[in-house]
Amino acid sequence: MSDLHMESVPFPDAFDPALPDFDVLVAAGDIWQADVRRGLKLLTTLSGGKPVVFVMGNHEH
């Protein structure tokens, strides 16, 4: 996944997409602008305990 920009989603805590079967969740930046902790929390939740590779984007400063 990439460029989710969850800061612009009206109810980000309700974000619960159907995910395909995967071994590693790869997130390529701009997940949550200026709030890396919330972005990491979201990715941890979505991964369901599987490994996560997160390459921060230009908005995760």
What DSSP string runs through 6-57?
GGGSSSGGG--------SSEEEES-SSTT-HHHHHHHHHHHHTTS-EEEE--
Q: Where are the domains of the chain?
A: 1-12+24-61
Q: Identify the pLDDT of residue 61.
A: 73
Q: Identify the pLDDT of residue 22.
A: 96
Average pLDDT for 6-21: 91
What is the model's pTM?
0.84
Q: Identify the pLDDT of residue 6.
A: 94
> What is the band of 59 on the pLDDT scale with cuts at 50, 70, 90?
confident
